[in-house]
Amino acid sequence: MMMHNWFTCKIRFEKTLENGMNKKVTELYLVDALSFTEAESRIIEEMTPFMSGEFEVVGVAKANYNELFPSEEGAADRWFKCKLWVITLDEKTGAEKRTPFNVLVQASDLRDAIKKLDEGMKGTLIDYVIASVAETAIMDVYPYKLEPDVEPEFKNADKR
C-alpha cells in the first residue's frame, strides 16, 4: 500500500467565456506530493500543456484524504468528499470508538458517489458509517506516478 500526501492547489488564470469575454477564474486541483514545494512544482508541470496564457498558483494546502476512488467512466466528472466514521471496539472497555476517515470519490452525482464508495470499501474489513458526502470544487486529481525507467534511489543500498 502506497502512502499519499495530498495537497490542494489553487490555480488562477484568465478564461475565455462562450461570449468571447475574458474572466479571471480560480480552479482547485489535488496533487500527490512530498512537500508544499513539490506540490506547487507538480501542478505547474501538469497544467502548463493545457494553458494558453499565463496562470499562477495562488494557494497550496495539505488535504486530508485517507483513500481515493477514481473512475474511468466518462460521466464521472465530479469529485465527492466522503466522510466516514470507522467503527472499532476498545478492547479494555468494550466501548465503540469512531475514527474519522476521508475518502475522495469520482462520480457523476451523489447517488453514484455513494455507490462507488460502497464498492470501493467492499474489499476492506473496516466497519464504517457514512457521516457525509459532499461535492467538492476539485477539477482534477494528479496522483504520483513513478517513471518506468527510474529506479528507486536506495534499491541496492544494502548490496555491497
Which amino acid, residue 77?
D
Q: pLDDT at residue 151 above 70?
A: no
Mean residue pLDDT of the chain comes to 88
pLDDT more than 70, % of the chain: 89
Q: Domain residue spans in the chain?
A: 1-63, 64-136
pLDDT at 156: 46
Architecture of domain 1-63: Roll (3.10)
pLDDT surpasses 80 at 152: no
For residue 105, what are the CA distances in angstroms to 36, 44, 75, 109, 134?
A: 23, 24, 13, 10, 10
How large is the average pLDDT for residues 147-157? 52
154 phi, psi to nearest 5 deg: -110, 20
- Does residue 81 have a pLDDT over 90? yes
Q: Flag whether pLDDT at 154 surpasses 80.
A: no
More reliable by pLDDT, 39 or 154: 39
Q: Which carries the bigger pLDDT value, residue 51 or residue 76?
A: 76
pTM of the predicted model as reported, rounded to 2 decimal places: 0.82
